[in-house]
């Protein structure tokens, strides 16, 4: 746990000093969501109906923005190789870096989502479920994204390839996240979809660090 806390604290300090990545993610999220009323029109019923899907799609795209740098800086300065050779188990390092990524990108998205839901006239019954679904779903986005980031860490300008690898894997999170909000809005309760998101989170926490660490070891050979 000491190694986990050390890597997590280092990445959080770097993110705070730079600051631009978090701001870029939130600004992209806000701009993407606010474009939909301009394109679809000001009809409140239509906006309310598409609000869950719009918010989740924008969150998926925003989460991709900083993934390509998840391991890139550590590879360039040699610290990734040190972690693999003499540091803690690489899976622990991956999990710590994913946790830092979620804290600096996923949490701001969760905080911004209710404000944007008001902008889209989403039914108030879906607000708590929206926050709960994003709290369960956004860590899965970071964990799955870490696999794509590890596979493309040696590829210059691999952001496009990373998106192609990761976006299909995000589909279950999108389906269950939107489904939970829609069920709550229509009075059906979103517990089933939230439980499925929780199951995805448990599976991702268990499997994604292993897959990411294996991909990083291949990249370092």
Q: Is the pLDDT of residue 119 over 70?
A: yes
Residue-number span of the structural domain to which 178 is assigned: 2-220
Domains in the chain, number: 1
d(CA 26, CA 57): 14
Task: Please give the angle made by the CA atoms of 214, 218 and 221, to the nearest 5 degrees.
Answer: 140
pLDDT digits (tens, 9 = 90+) for 143-201: 999 998 888 887 776 677 888 888 899 999 999 999 999 998 888 877 899 999 999 99
The structure tokens 């990761």 sit at 166
The model carries a pTM of: 0.88
The helix/strand/coil state of 70 is coil
Query: What separation in angstroms does the CA of 77 have from each of 20, 51, 72, 149, 217?
Result: 20, 42, 9, 17, 16
Say how many C-beta atoms besides its own lie within 10 A of residue 149's C-beta.
Answer: 30
d(CA 170, CA 43): 29
pLDDT, position 135? 94
pLDDT digits (tens, 9 = 90+) for 20-31: 777 888 899 999
């Amino acid at each position: 746990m000491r190694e986990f806390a050390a890597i997590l604290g280092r990445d959080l300090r770097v993110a705070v000093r730079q600051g631009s990545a978090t701001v870029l993610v939130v600004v992209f999220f806000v701009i993407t969501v606010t474009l939909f009323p301009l394109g679809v029109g000001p009809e409140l019923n239509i906006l309310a109906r598409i609000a869950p899907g719009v918010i989740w799609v924008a969150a998926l795209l925003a989460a991709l923005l900083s993934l390509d740098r998840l391991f890139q800086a550590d590879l360039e300065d040699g610290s990734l190789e040190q972690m693999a050779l003499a540091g803690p188990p690489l899976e622990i390092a991956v999990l710590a870096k994913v946790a830092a990524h979620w804290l600096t990108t996923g949490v701001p998205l969760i905080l911004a989502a209710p404000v944007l839901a008001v902008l889209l006239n989403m039914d108030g019954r879906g607000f708590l479920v929206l926050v709960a679904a994003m709290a369960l779903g956004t860590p899965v986005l970071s964990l799955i994204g870490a696999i794509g980031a590890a596979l493309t860490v040696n590829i210059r300008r691999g952001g496009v390839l990373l998106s192609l690898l990761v976006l299909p894997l995000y589909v279950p999170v999108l389906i269950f996240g939107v489904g939970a909000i829609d069920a709550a809005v229509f009075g059906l309760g979103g517990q089933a979809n939230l439980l499925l998101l929780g199951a995805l989170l448990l599976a991702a926490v268990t499997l994604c660090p292993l897959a990411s660490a294996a991909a990083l070891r291949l990249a370092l050979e």
